[in-house]
Amino acid sequence: MLYFLFILLVLLTNIIQGITGFAGTVLAMPFAILMFGIDTAKPVLTVLTTLACLMVVCRSWRSIAWKEFGRMFVLMFIGVFAGEYLYRQASPDLLLPVYAVFIIAIALRGMFQKEERDLPPACLMLIVLGAGVIHGMFISGGPLLIIYAVKKIPEKEQFRSTLSLIWIALNIYLLAKQASAGLFSAPTLHLAVIGVPALILGVAAGSILAKKMSQEVFLRLTYILLLISGATLLL
């Protein structure tokens, strides 16, 4: 039953990932932590989200906004180092409630903020850096990064492909660190393999839906799901 729920989780969250280019891991992570623990959830979802993003990039690499990719990657890579350090220093009992509150805050902001505010360039840079910190801790920097990305990459296909390439680049580094730390045990790899068919189906379905339905509708759905997942982890 646990494996069935995990497969269903991977399928549904990667439909959203295929549509938006960012939300799959942050939706899946709270439930995966509850199912298997954080030290298993992180490497498994790192593998799966990297594969999901690779599928998106292979289909739409011509749409990548390379200039914005370079800016976001440099700042987020710096933030990832800080996030890894914080993760090693703090206990999960402290980190998980903070993470849950972060998810809920991002969800409420997306649901109730009627229009994007103009932020100073320095503030936007700090937001991207903060996205890197969260990604280094929980592989879930997407909700913060979109605050920057929606302003700089308004075209939907560019948005999806550029963000997907960001996650691939950062996750390759994280995968290497996780492997060197011995997190890829046989059960962990088995769980990742189990999720691959559901991931492929989910991303393919999400890519089709992304062409037929508006980004606004699915972003609203994503924020609702974020609220549910954050509240579940907090409770």
Condensed to tens digits (0 to 9), the pLDDT of residues 130-143 reads 889 988 888 888 77
Type and span of the H or E element at 73: helix 66-89
Q: What share of the chain is helix, strand, coil (3-state, %, to 5)?
A: 85, 0, 15
The tokens describing 136, both together, are 């280094």
User: Binning pLDDT at 50, 70 and 90, where does residue 5 land?
Assistant: very high
Q: Convert the pLDDT of each residue in 91-117 to its tens digit.
A: 767 877 887 888 788 888 878 876 666
pTM score, two decimals? 0.81
Helices (H), 139-185: 142-152, 156-180
> Residue 215: pLDDT band by 50, 70, 90 thresholds?
low
